[in-house]
Amino acid sequence: MEVPLFAFVDETGNTGHNIFDDNQPDFFTAALITRGNFDTLRGARVTAIASGLGQTSLHAKDLGVHRLESVSRDILQLLVASRATFFVSRVEKKYLLVTKMFDSIFDSGENAAMSWHHYNVRMLRLILTFKLSSLIEDQTARDFWKCILEPKEEKARAGLVKVCDALLANIDLLPDEKSRTVLGDALVWARVHPESIQIHVDRKTARHGHFPNLVAFSNLLYGLEGHSKRLKRPVARITHDQQSEFEKTLKSFHELLSSASGDEINWAGEIHSLQAVKGSTFETMEDNFSAGIQIADVVLWLYSQYHRGKALPDGCAAILNFVFANGWESDFSFSGVNASLEPAYHAEMAVALSDDALAANRALLAQYEEARQSSMAQYEVDKAPPFLRSFALPASSREGE
């Protein structure tokens, strides 16, 4: 019988509602993933390593780099013997806020002035998200964050109007006319029709979904799903470091994704499935009682030091090199997304189109513009947001051709 996967997760950089803490601009997550229960199989060895340092458990921040270096060989040997794999994640809070703003205001299913392709085609969405960031001043960012967390709908809508006004005041900072038109038209429409923009959510759990740790947790679950498929082994259990504020929300997210339909959807050339880690269980545990979480803590601390530009001694660097060689990284930041975007789309954007291809694309763009104008006009009649109407996409958009 195949041995299932167990994941042990730790996190750092949680500032709760205050994502504007200059001292913690990033949220970091690390997960140790093993075949079989690491706590049962290797817990005694981790306790022995900690005991050699005069500790009952391993906590990298308390140990510091020098004492951690003294046991780095023991830890590395343990990881190799366990055939461990890893998930490490960075969520840059400023980038998270910009993506939330773009998704909130410029969703073509809610904002009739936003063309379908500018929101749903990933390359265009990311380019416009980066451009939007140049319009956001510090106070605008704070006003928007307050807006999406506002429990009263009327106040949330008023806050949205204020944010749109502030962004429009800076629209001329954009260097190209097309971006000024695309973002400007959508901002004007959202300011006039805030009732169509789903900026407000009733449930506290849903509002928690805006926070960096929930974004990182969702990335982890989907990463585990892919890892599980590659190894053809199910995920049995996810053990997360115990915490109070978001524990209920983490459990809800796990339940939602693990029980979601496994059906795949082809949308704008991308394959999507909501389901992740079906059949797994989720638990939280105090780190002192989980050797796996303690190892995740060590990996997390080294990973965060690396991203802060701190020099690591040879033994600690060897652990981190093993992590990168035997895991995957999710860098949800301006630099991380740009690094993945540029090589993925550079070749496609550099290709010269034939006359026939140019004509076909212009016809398609005209079709999208006609649909946009029709949607805006129809809203004035029925006050129904675009997602409530049927919209027949061209076959090339549906199939990613």
Are residues 46 and 291 in contact, defined by beta-carbon separation less than 8 angstroms? yes
Angle at 81 between CA 80 and CA 86, to 5 degrees: 50
Q: Would 249 be classed as within a structural domain?
A: yes
Q: Which of 302, 333, 364 is the last residue of a domain?
A: 333
- Do 193 and 215 reside in the same domain of the chain? no
For 222-277, write each residue's pLDDT tens digit. 999 999 999 999 999 999 998 767 888 899 989 999 999 888 777 666 777 889 99
- Do 9 and 84 reside in the same domain of the chain? yes
Number of domains in the chain: 2
Residues 210 and 19: their CA atoms lie apart, in Å, by: 11
Domain that holds residue 388: 108-197+352-399
- Do 222 and 283 reside in the same domain of the chain? yes
Whichever domain contains 12, its CATH number is 3.30.420
Residues 199 and 323: their CA atoms lie apart, in Å, by: 39
Q: Would 247 be classed as within a structural domain?
A: yes
- Do 273 and 382 reside in the same domain of the chain? no
Please report, for residues 39, 186, 324, the alpha-carbon distance to residue 89 in angstroms, rounded to integers and kept in the order given. 22, 32, 11
Q: Tens-digit pLDDT profile for the chain (401 aa)?
A: 589 999 999 999 887 778 999 999 999 999 999 999 999 999 999 999 999 999 999 999 999 999 999 999 999 999 999 999 999 999 999 999 999 999 999 999 999 999 999 999 988 999 999 999 999 999 999 999 999 999 899 999 999 999 999 999 999 999 999 999 999 999 999 999 999 999 887 665 556 568 898 889 999 999 999 999 999 999 999 999 987 678 888 999 899 999 998 887 776 667 778 899 999 999 999 999 999 999 999 999 999 999 999 999 999 999 999 999 999 999 999 999 998 888 877 777 778 889 999 999 999 999 999 999 999 999 999 999 898 876 545 544 443 33
Q: Would 21 be classed as within a structural domain?
A: yes
Strands 26-35 and 265-267: unpaired
- What's the predicted TM-score (pTM) here? 0.89
- Do 174 and 217 reside in the same domain of the chain? no
Q: Would 345 be classed as within a structural domain?
A: no
For 343-400, write each residue's pLDDT tens digit. 877 777 778 889 999 999 999 999 999 999 999 999 999 999 898 876 545 544 443 3
Q: Would 341 be classed as within a structural domain?
A: no
